[in-house]
Amino acid sequence: MDTKDYVARDDKYVTPIYASLPIVFEKSEGVWMWDIEGKKYLDFVSAYSAVSFGHLNPRIKKALLNQLERTDIQARAFRHDKLGEYAEMLCKITGMDQMIPMNTGAEAVETGLKAARRWGNMVKKIPDGKQHIIVCKGNFHGRTTTIVGFSSDAEYRRGFGPFDGGFSHIPFGDIAALEKAITPNTCAFLVEPLQGEGGIHVAPKGYLKQAQDLCKKNNILLLLDEVQTGMGRTGKNFCYQHEIDKPDGLMLGKALGGGIYPVSAFVARKDVMDVMDPGSHGSTFGGNAIASAIAIETIKILQEEKLTERSAEMGDYLMKKLRALNSPLIKDIRGLGLLIGMEINTKIVSTDDICKRLLKKGIISKDTHGTVVRFSPPLTITKEEVNFAVQCVTETLRELEAEKVSAT
């Protein structure tokens, strides 16, 4: 089969909920991927941070295979020897008290929302059904019906109603708007410390600390979604560490599974978790022995191989290289660590055109909302590999600049 055959079969049997490009990958290792025709690509997306530790990381692969020699999954009505170790390590690295293991990022967010609402009812004494949660415009927390119900993106919501309500929106980074939105029934403020899918928007300096102080003053839970920004991505183990000690609740996923297995978790302080009891929540696969063994290894890798420090160093290096381009096609370069957005002057050129041209040069990037090109390579990337990517970006921008000049 060639590429056309694979694409034709996909198009016939796979519902097109993604606008996938006609490239078929069959091999990956470290920061590189190969298609079925043998072409090599530098992965500058990392499956939205899921592959933060590199494709088929040998240590994660070994942890998976070793666990498969022992046991797979069992009902959560019983215990296994890996979950407690995983939970302890995750709580210690985040500074939290307890965790609820899940599989996907959206599940982690849903778990946090349930815990917050029950906490609001049982602890803050908000009448059940009146619990109110504040979220930010431009958020992306997943694609379940509850979550898309409070998305500010009309396309995510279209045709999926009715939604359950209980959420209100404020501008991201606006502390005055947060204070104004608080009501006696507000139980939580859910926010990404850096909006990834929203366009790589970094909150104003001091915003997270101000939000935390405001939440404490009003007895509101500060819930942080770090499914994409956690596990070293922004140059800290967790993005909140750029400003605060810890939130009241934290959602994690993607990189926690090492790019090999779906692993997520909601971690929080004990009084928040105390409202959850047997039967209040669950997951057949959440926290299974395979997931736990992998998560244990990802946490060890993050710490032992100093990938957080590497993310800060390589991110700073990449940011400086991109800012030095001084291209009229670039409106802004922003981000933290190795989560960087290149905002494009779309009056001159489209982000889609840039991403497709980069792909031809062997760079996998991602268009975000038609205005930003997202760069988020594995944290294992080397300076030489960053230089290769920047050279491809430079060539692409220069080609487009020349085309636009000749066209006028």
Query: Out of 254, 266, 321, 375, which one is annotated catalytic?
Result: 254
- Segments of 315-371 assigned E as strands: 330-336, 339-344, 363-364, 366-368
Beta pairing partners, 252: 265
Please give the C-alpha separations between residue 72 and each of 83, 117, 245, 288, 289, in angstroms, as whole numbers: 13, 33, 36, 7, 6
Does residue 368 contact residue 352 with C-beta atoms inside 8 Å?
no
Query: Out of 167, 225, 266, 321, which one is annotated catalytic?
Result: 225
Residues with Cβ within 8 Å of residue 182, at least 6 apart in sequence: 134, 214, 218, 220
- Segments of 81-200 assigned E as strands: 98-102, 132-136, 167-170, 186-191, 194-195
Q: With bands split at pLDDT 50, 70 and 90, how would you rate the model's confidence at 408?
A: low
Report the first-to-last Cα separation within the chain, whole angstroms: 44
Domains along the chain?
Answer: 3-56+306-407 (3.90.1150.10), 58-304 (3.40.640.10)
Q: What is the mean pLDDT of the chain?
A: 96
Q: How far is CA 197 from the centre of its chain?
A: 8
213 is an active site residue: no
List the one residue out of 206, 248, 258, 197 whose CA is nearest residue 224: 248
List the one residue out of 198, 197, 209 whose CA is nearest residue 240: 209
388 is an active site residue: no
- pLDDT tens digit sequence for 284-327: 999 999 999 999 999 999 999 999 999 999 999 999 999 999 99
140 is an active site residue: yes
- pLDDT tens digit sequence for 30-66: 999 999 999 999 999 999 999 999 999 999 999 999 9
3-state helix, strand and coil shares in percent for the chain, rounded to the nearest 5: 40, 20, 40
Backbone angles phi, psi at 235, to 5 degrees: 90, 5
Structure tokens at 89: 């390590």
Residue 406 clears pLDDT 90, i.e. is over it: no
Crossing angle between the packed helical segments 289-304 and 83-94, to the nearest 10 degrees: 40
Residues with Cβ within 8 Å of residue 360, at least 6 apart in sequence: none
Q: How far is CA 30 from the centre of its chain?
A: 19
Q: With bands split at pLDDT 50, 70 and 90, how would you rate the model's confidence at 158?
A: very high
Query: Out of 44, 140, 266, 375, which one is annotated catalytic?
Result: 140
Does residue 126 contact residue 187 with C-beta atoms inside 8 Å?
yes
